[in-house]
Amino acid sequence: MAIKVGINGYGRIGRNVLRALYEGKRTGELQIVAVNDLGDAKINAHLTQHDTVHGRFPGEVKVDGDSLVVNGDRIRVLAERDPAKLPWGSLGVDYVFE
């Protein structure tokens, strides 16, 4: 059973966490459930696909409503400024990368 994680902040570090899990084929161990970032899902998808240091993401990244879909895995994109209001508990998140 995978540990469910959230990413609070989808800047360089947050995107690299996602990339490392997918490139390292560790998504069976850690499942990214949600990302909190003030940018919208389309911008986040583009930034995931095209990294100036690491190059193009080796998988598929799509947008479906308020979610990123990475290699078929749905990741909800939140845009909450107040950390106390983030729904990590209701999403079943075990740990959050900050």
pLDDT in tens, 33-68: 999 999 989 999 999 999 999 999 999 999 999 999
Global pTM reads: 0.94
Confidence of residue 1 (pLDDT cuts 50, 70, 90): confident
Q: Which domain holds residue 18?
A: 3-97
| pLDDT surpassing 90 at residue 22 | yes
Count: domains in the chain: 1
Angle at the Cα of 89 from the Cα atoms of 28 and 69, rounded to 5 degrees: 45
Angle at the Cα of 45 from the Cα atoms of 6 and 86, rounded to 5 degrees: 30
Q: Would you call 15 helix, strand, or coil by DSSP?
A: helix
CATH at 85: 3.40.50.720
pLDDT tens sequence across 60-85: 999 999 999 999 999 999 999 999 99
